[in-house]
Amino acid sequence: MRIQPKTRYIALGAVVVAGVTLVTAPLLARAHQERPGHRFGMHLGDRLASLNVTAEQRTQIREIWRQNQPQIEPVARQVVTERRTLREVIRAPQVDEAAIRAQSAKVAAAEADLAVARARVAQQIRGVLTEDQIQKLKDWQADVYDRIDMALERMRHRLAE
């Protein structure tokens, strides 16, 4: 049985969305959870260890997180809440396009607020790092993007089989 091209593209799109969700959901969940002894955002410690930050830099970065945590945590929680609601609307027995679009707009607004807050914190942290450390972070981010692209490409090839 041959799959129609339009159906194949719809399936590919669904798999790409699912793949991106599978790749990013654990990262978001980890970033947004609170564990005993950890405050929001303190998972940065793993990344800082690989940058060989000094004790003084580590103290400064922790202070930046402490100062920004009261603003970031509620925004991050709002993103999680709005995404959960969107998933519920998507999974409803009847497709309600207007409801999906309205909830998607709420998710986008919450994510925009979080992106602005994260950018401000990142700018402050970059002010503490050396140029070499900043370059290592950029290289790490490029590597993350490459891994996501490769995973999406592998999914695309698997669908084509």
The CATH number assigned to the domain with range 40-129 reads 1.20.120.1490
Count of Cβ atoms closer than 10 Å to residue 159 Cβ: 15
Helices (H), the chain: 5-32, 44-51, 55-90, 97-126, 131-160
Domain spans, the chain: 40-129
pLDDT tens string, the chain, 161 residues long: the values are 555 554 554 544 444 444 444 444 444 444 444 333 444 444 566 777 788 899 999 999 999 999 999 999 999 999 999 999 999 999 999 999 999 999 999 999 999 999 999 999 999 999 999 999 999 989 988 999 999 999 999 999 898 88
